[in-house]
Amino acid sequence: MEKVLSLSMFQLFAEMNLQLFAEPNTNTTGSAELSAENKTYYDMTLIDSAGPELIHDQFAQKRDIPKNGGKTIEFRKFSALPKATQPLVEGVTPEGLSLNVTAITSEVSQFGRYIVTSDVLELTSIDNMIVETTKLLGRQAGLTLDTITRNAIIAVRNDHYASKIAEPNIILKSESEMDDTCHLTVHTVKRAVATLKNNNTPKIDGSYIAIIHPYAAYDIMNDPEWIDVSKYAKPENIFEGEIGKIAGVRFIETSEAKITSDGTFYTMLFGANAYATTEITGGGLETIIKPKGSAGTADPLNQRSSIGWKAIKTAEILVPEYMIKILSRNEFSSSAKEN
């Protein structure tokens, strides 16, 4: 009798689709175990963890991601009005002006990752596994989405090259002329600022903005004109990552500023409305938590949970003339890793 039962059980298992156990994160459903309050809490935990990493996004013109509007999002650029040098004729109403609006379209893409945790890990771990994992995923989401914006804006072609220390007045014309003595200096920054001013680039809160890598910031912070953020008259009105200012430029430091394969640092200098990106907190970034048991027969012993995120994102340069890429090198270049 025992042999008959064993054979029947074997046949039963043989007939089951064992692929249900191979990938527990596909074709799963939600669970009533995850309350609305918990979902809101985990969403905010992930967004709060992602926010500080979105250094490049904080200066972009933002657009909400349209629901049921396709994969294309539209950014708008307004052309400046011409000078009104013609005197008005007394009693005569002049001809009205027309706005010149240019639409720039971009296709959004979806990004995301997840982590699977076991019931044993959750039972034996000292930390709150869901909260800690959500924080880690939030930071990953922030860095990922920030890099998407960064990679979009570094494509601008308005390149300035830091001069060699021994020849500060010689302006280099290409990256091939650079070496490790081409440090970022206030002279180079002032030259870039002059270009932005000549292009009538609008400022952000009265200043231009530069996003800089710590290795490049090391050079500019040694200049006697440098004003550290701790010495601001109103230190409470600072941007995420701000470290100081010089020559009318406020510098935002991040290790995610671009480093090339040969150790060249990109410092992105720009004004208002230079680029645009999609709005993340308006629905683009989402937390997905699948509690134990939510997978049904794919997790028959309630052994696995998963925590993940997904987001829809794109970024575009709106006005190339409002943005300059400063290339520099120094003694860190030989050991700096491309990012």
CATH assignment at residue 164: 3.30.2320
Angle between helices 36-50 and 129-153 (to 10 degrees): 40
Backbone angles phi, psi at 243, to 5 degrees: -120, -20
Instruction: Give the predicted TM-score (pTM) of the model.
Output: 0.79
Looking at the fold, whether 234 and 285 belong to one and the same domain comes out as: no
Contacts of 34 (CB under 8 A, 6+ apart): 289, 291
- Tell me what percent of the chain is helix, strand and coil, each rounded to the nearest 5: 30, 25, 45
Contacts of 226 (CB under 8 A, 6+ apart): 186, 220, 244, 245, 246
The amino acid at residue 329 is R
CATH of the domain at 143: 3.30.2400
Looking at the fold, whether 269 and 310 belong to one and the same domain comes out as: no
Separation between Cα atoms, residue 183 and residue 219, nearest integer Å: 6
Q: Which runs of E-coded beta strand occur in the chain?
A: 61-63, 72-78, 101-107, 109-118, 159-161, 208-212, 227-228, 242-246, 249-253, 265-270, 275-278, 285-290, 304-313, 315-317, 323-328
Looking at the fold, whether 323 and 193 belong to one and the same domain comes out as: yes
117 assigned to some structural domain: yes
List per-residue pLDDT tens for the chain, 339 residues long.
Answer: 444 444 444 443 444 343 334 444 433 333 335 566 666 777 778 777 877 788 999 999 888 777 776 788 888 777 777 888 889 889 888 888 877 778 888 888 889 999 888 877 666 665 577 788 888 999 999 999 999 999 999 999 999 999 999 998 899 999 999 999 999 999 999 999 999 999 999 999 999 999 999 999 999 999 999 999 988 877 778 999 999 999 999 999 999 999 999 999 999 999 999 999 987 665 678 888 888 888 887 888 888 888 899 998 999 999 999 999 999 999 999 999 999
Q: What pLDDT, on the 0 to 100 scale, is given for residue 146?
A: 94
Strand partners, 172: none
Looking at the fold, whether 61 and 204 belong to one and the same domain comes out as: no
Strand partners, 312: 110
> Which tokens in the block code for residue 139?
């930071």
Looking at the fold, whether 142 and 181 belong to one and the same domain comes out as: no
| Beta sheet of 109-118, edge-to-edge order | 109-118, 304-313, 285-290
Separation between Cα atoms, residue 94 and residue 213, nearest integer Å: 51
Backbone angles phi, psi at 228, to 5 degrees: -70, 150
- The secondary element (H helix, E strand) that includes residue 50 is helix 36-50
Rounded (10°) CA dihedral 78, 76, 104, 274: 70
Looking at the fold, whether 49 and 141 belong to one and the same domain comes out as: yes
Strand partners, 103: 76
Residue 141 · residue 311 · CB < 8 Å: yes
In angstroms, how far is the first alpha carbon of the chain from the final one?
A: 66
DSSP annotation of 296: G
Q: What pLDDT, on the 0 to 100 scale, is given for residue 127?
A: 57
4 assigned to some structural domain: no
Looking at the fold, whether 186 and 253 belong to one and the same domain comes out as: yes
Looking at the fold, whether 303 and 204 belong to one and the same domain comes out as: no
Looking at the fold, whether 169 and 49 belong to one and the same domain comes out as: no
134 assigned to some structural domain: yes
46 assigned to some structural domain: yes
10 assigned to some structural domain: no
- From the CA atom positions of the chain, what is the Rg in Å? 27
**Closest of 338, 316, 191, 201 to residue 265, by C-alpha:** 338
Range(s) of the domain holding residue 263: 158-274+318-328
Q: ∠ CA(229), CA(232), CA(235), 5° rounding?
A: 80
Rounded (10°) CA dihedral 163, 166, 167, 169: 80
Count of domains forming the chain: 2
185 assigned to some structural domain: yes
Residue 99 Cα to chain centre, angstroms = 31
Strand partners, 244: 228, 251
Looking at the fold, whether 300 and 324 belong to one and the same domain comes out as: no
> Which tokens in the block code for residue 87?
């005197």
